[in-house]
Structure 1
Amino acid sequence: MKRFKLSLILLVGIGVSHCYAQAPLTLQEALKFAINNNQGLARTKMEEEMGKFKTEEVRAQALPQINGNANYTDNLQLAKSILPGDVIGQPGKNLAVAFGVKYSTSAGAELNQQLYNQSVFTGLKAAKAGEEYYKLQTQQSTEDLIYNVSQLYYQLLITQENIKSLDSNVQKLSALVTVTKSQFDNGLAKKIDLDRIKVNLTNYQTQRIQLINQYAMQTNNLKRVMGMPLESAFVIPSASLKDIEAHAAQVLQYEDISLEDRTEMKVLKKQEELQLFQKKAYQAENYPSLALFGRYAYNGMSNHWLYEKGDANSTLWYGTSAIGLTLRVPIFDGFGRRSKVSQANVAIRQLQYTMDETKLALNIQYENSKLTMRTNITAIQTQKENMELANEVYYSTQNNYSLGLAGLTDLLNAETSLTDAQNSYNAALLQYKLAELDMIKSKGNLKSLLN
């Protein structure tokens, strides 16, 4: 049993010394690292880049379209036409006559230019709005990343402080074990008292190992969100806890929020704009379209393969060209376009419901964050006073125990109360920071955490 406890202490001690030997990582550094290295955000930025290419794709439809063509044909069997025999003085007879030559060649180019096509012009406007939508998506992903990293960072900070509190308690109980064992060896203490202290010490050591494992898992989770390699190491500066306490002591002003500043609402507004463009695109299919075309071809015809036989006049070459306009007028499509417009109207109404629902959720989130902050500001002050009082009670009881004026039960109870007070204080700090984070998000100011 003693060997197990010694191994346990050495294992935990090595883990903590390794953890605390690393370079400190501030919240701002963690956020900037995450923005530069998070894989999900990188994918979202690629979507933004893709949006630019989609705009170019739509714009291409409004630019001239030029295509070249060439062909070489071997007419294995010429088509024949029926002529009346009258043309050769044989009335009443039909003659099958083959027209054309065995080989023909053609090379040319064709140009098409949209002069009026409402679908193309509407699509171009929609593509530009799509670029803005992808930018907002990137902004939304960045804010979500800032929020998630900040949450994990604060949780890691509080877990680190809980480990420190347990370290202090383990140290106190270890010293008490040493003193009580000496008293027991000299007949001044009971074995049951020594065993009770050892049981409490083992319980704290077990809790400490659990917290260290929790700290390691939280660290790995933070690394994952940040895009940091697992082999990298860091530690959260302890001064961050003092900053939380000092900030919570300030008088906070709760201002009204503007939901229009929230990226979530901007994204929904842009989705509505895109859906309106989609509706206009469907409606534009009812409009006529006008396009300009131009064609030029150079043709060669001969009865000789590849034109290598016969004299120069055996191959006939000639050019053809044409320009014109193509007018397309939609008349009836079986009410297909009307159905598309109706679907777009339904999608727009759905978005309006989504926006109303989102506004309500954002307002509730803000009100809840205010309530949580008010509650935990009071809790921080109360738990701090309670922790200081529990600390005084512990040391007073410890002194009385040394003088024989207090029993072991009183001392262990005082020590347990101190541990509970420390954990409650740390929990209040964490809940305050999480509520503050929600409030910053409600105001649309998450990027202020980068400064």
Structure 2
Amino acid sequence: MRLTTKFSLFGVLLTCLLAGRVSAQEVLEFTLEESVQYALENNADAKNALLETFASKASVGEQVAQGLPQINGSFDFTKNVSIPVMFLPNEGPFADPDNPSDVLPVQFGVNYQSGITVTVNQMIFDGSYFVGLKAARTYRQLSEFDKEKTENDVIENVKKAFFTVLVNKERQELAEANLARIDTLLQETTALYEEGFAEKIEVSRVKVQYNNIRTELDKINAATEISKQLLKVQMGLPIEYEISVTESLRDLNQPQQIQELLDNPGYRRVEMDQLQTNWELVKLDLKNNTVQYLPSLNANFTYQRNGAGQEFNTVWDSENWFTGAFVGLTLNVPIFDGLAKAKRIQQNRIQLQQIENQMDMLDDNIEVERFQARTNLQNNLKTLDVQRENMELATEVYEISRIKYSEGVGSNLEVVEADSDLVEAEINYYSALYDALISKVDLEKALGILR
């Protein structure tokens, strides 16, 4: 990757981070490989897929943490504004002869009380925990496959956008050459007309052709800029950057590489890995619902210190604080849940069958997709050869018409028509070239080698 200024790419990116904008004069040059690599690091979808893998790793740690001791502490302080009253019978040893009532009001409590508590819970056995731990690791694997699928989509879009820029770039160069050629013809015909060796209609014919090519060049220029903008979007490159592609179509499409691609049998597709991992997740969910019929056992320990006092400052006196500690086991035994677990298990089994059907269908679709992509590429290559030959023939016809006209044995109309046929042949050639390039990317995707 290079810059047309003296700044390195790292320097430009650093400037962008610091200043938020770059100078319009700085142009970044990319090869196809550099474009793909940049997109894998900066495309929004690619970055989100990478972040999702980090989240899945964290989910594994979260699941592991559920099997570790759970420790909680608490502190409370209470001011009893109005201490609750309880009543005792006014008789026996509690009798108050000075109280005419048959009950005695008694307050059980103090003005201030406080406490510090630490509780520890430790899971001893819970079948769902171990299944959940394996499911978290499987989900992490699924996030890796999702990341790979996202990267494949990014690579596909970048390649197609890059090829579009290259095709438009070559169309632009050819259209400029066509414009220069017809401009020369227009000048020569105009000079002949001014000297009386040509008619006005001959000048008009060439002028019409000149205007048509000029209009076509404007369209190509606009398409080139649009394709560059689309490439920047696919790469995740800020729009304010100027971009230039440095490779040619010939460099990226060697005949030997095309033949190797056509002979490649293909590899396992990541879409199949995604479905297989989803199947494993549903299988684990089925196992999780099954183990919920088993009891769970947890140990718990509580340590607390409680204090009280009639005055605020006496609450904190050490003689008013006392210790309590408790150790216990909790065994939870599921008895009846209204068949909820049984229905969830039934749903899991149906989901497994659905995913198996999807895998069979995907396997067939992949084979069809590979056959179709390989056939399309072969047909597009044949069409490209035909259009290349047509363009060469149209060029030859134009040159002969041009020579005949310059020697006075041909007409101006023949030259204009030959030029028009040549322009049409060039348009057809680049259209066929674009189709061949896109079908090449489609075959790489179908074969699972889109890198």
- TM-score, normalised on structure 1? 0.86
Q: Kindly indicate whether the alpha-carbon contact (under 8 Å) linking 1:65 and 1:111 is maintained by their aligned counterparts in 2.
A: yes
Report 1:224-303 matches (<5 A). 224-237=233-246, 239-241=248-250, 243-244=252-253, 246-247=255-256, 250=259, 253-258=262-267, 261-303=268-310
Structure 1 pair 185–89 and aligned structure 2 pair: CA distance change class (3 A): closer
Looking at structure 2, the residues matched to 57 and 110 of structure 1 have their Cα atoms a distance apart, in angstroms, of 20
Structure 1 pair 418–249 and aligned structure 2 pair: CA distance change class (3 A): farther
Q: Deviations over 1:347-398 (max 9, x none)?
A: 3333333333332332222111111121122222222222222211110111
Looking at structure 1, the residues matched to 258 and 422 of structure 2 have their Cα atoms a distance apart, in angstroms, of 23
Tell me the amino acid that sits aligned with residue 426 of structure 1: Y
Report 1:61-100 matches (<5 A). 61-75=66-80, 76-83=82-89, 85-88=91-94, 95-100=104-109
Stretch moving more, 411-420 or 246-255: 246-255
Tell me the amino acid that sits aligned with residue 48 of structure 1: T
Looking at structure 2, the residues matched to 104 and 210 of structure 1 have their Cα atoms a distance apart, in angstroms, of 85
**Alpha-carbon distance, 1:24 to partner:** 4.3
**Alpha-carbon distance, 1:83 to partner:** 4.8
Q: Does 1:361 align with 2:370?
A: no
Indicate the residue corresponding to 2:54 in structure 1: 49
Q: Percent identity?
A: 27
**Alpha-carbon distance, 1:341 to partner:** 2.5
Q: Kindly indicate whether the alpha-carbon contact (under 8 Å) linking 1:81 and 1:99 is maintained by their aligned counterparts in 2.
A: no
Q: Does 1:199 align with 2:208?
A: yes
Indicate the residue corresponding to 2:39 in structure 1: 34
Indicate the residue corresponding to 1:328 in structure 2: 332
Q: Kindly indicate whether the alpha-carbon contact (under 8 Å) linking 2:295 and 2:332 is maintained by their aligned counterparts in 1.
A: yes
**Which structure 1 residue ranges, 5 or more long, are not aligned?**
1-18
Looking at structure 2, the residues matched to 248 and 396 of structure 1 have their Cα atoms a distance apart, in angstroms, of 36
Instruction: Give the one of 383, 387, 391 matched to 2:391.
Output: 387
Looking at structure 1, the residues matched to 352 and 253 of structure 2 have their Cα atoms a distance apart, in angstroms, of 44
SS of match in other structure, 2:166 = helix
SS of match in other structure, 1:235 = strand
Count of matched residue positions in the alignment of Structure 1 and Structure 2: 422
Indicate the residue corresponding to 1:122 in structure 2: 131
Tell me the amino acid that sits aligned with residue 396 of structure 2: E
Indicate the residue corresponding to 1:318 in structure 2: 322
Instruction: Give the one of 422, 438, 442 matched to 1:418.
Output: 422
SS of match in other structure, 1:446 = coil
Q: Deviations over 1:128-187 (max 9, x none)?
A: 111111111111111111110001111111111222222121111111111111110111
Q: Kindly indicate whether the alpha-carbon contact (under 8 Å) linking 2:87 and 2:103 is maintained by their aligned counterparts in 1.
A: no
Stretch moving more, 211-220 or 400-409: 400-409
Instruction: Give the one of 137, 141, 147 matched to 2:156.
Output: 147
Q: Kindly indicate whether the alpha-carbon contact (under 8 Å) linking 2:56 and 2:143 is maintained by their aligned counterparts in 1.
A: yes
Looking at structure 1, the residues matched to 312 and 243 of structure 2 have their Cα atoms a distance apart, in angstroms, of 80
Looking at structure 2, the residues matched to 251 and 141 of structure 1 have their Cα atoms a distance apart, in angstroms, of 26
Structure 1 pair 231–99 and aligned structure 2 pair: CA distance change class (3 A): closer
Would you identify which runs of 4 or more consecutive aligned residues in structure 1 move more than 6 Å? none
Q: Kindly indicate whether the alpha-carbon contact (under 8 Å) linking 2:73 and 2:118 is maintained by their aligned counterparts in 1.
A: yes
Tell me the amino acid that sits aligned with residue 36 of structure 1: E
Q: Kindly indicate whether the alpha-carbon contact (under 8 Å) linking 1:254 and 1:370 is maintained by their aligned counterparts in 2.
A: no
Stretch moving more, 370-379 or 174-183: 370-379
Q: Deviations over 1:229-271 (max 9, x none)?
A: 223223333633354264577576534334xx21111112112
Indicate the residue corresponding to 1:339 in structure 2: 343
**Alpha-carbon distance, 1:87 to partner:** 4.5
Q: Kindly indicate whether the alpha-carbon contact (under 8 Å) linking 1:38 and 1:225 is maintained by their aligned counterparts in 2.
A: yes
Structure 1 pair 404–157 and aligned structure 2 pair: CA distance change class (3 A): same
Q: Kindly indicate whether the alpha-carbon contact (under 8 Å) linking 2:286 and 2:349 is maintained by their aligned counterparts in 1.
A: yes
Indicate the residue corresponding to 2:114 in structure 1: 105
Looking at structure 1, the residues matched to 261 and 72 of structure 2 have their Cα atoms a distance apart, in angstroms, of 68
Looking at structure 2, the residues matched to 281 and 24 of structure 1 have their Cα atoms a distance apart, in angstroms, of 54
Structure 1 pair 302–248 and aligned structure 2 pair: CA distance change class (3 A): closer
Looking at structure 2, the residues matched to 398 and 233 of structure 1 have their Cα atoms a distance apart, in angstroms, of 40
Indicate the residue corresponding to 2:8 in structure 1: none
Q: Deviations over 1:254-301 (max 9, x none)?
A: 34334xx21111112112212222222233332211001011111223
- Tell me the C-alpha RMSD between the 2 structures: 2.6
- TM-score, normalised on structure 2? 0.86
Q: Kindly indicate whether the alpha-carbon contact (under 8 Å) linking 1:78 and 1:101 is maintained by their aligned counterparts in 2.
A: no
Q: Kindly indicate whether the alpha-carbon contact (under 8 Å) linking 1:372 and 1:431 is maintained by their aligned counterparts in 2.
A: no
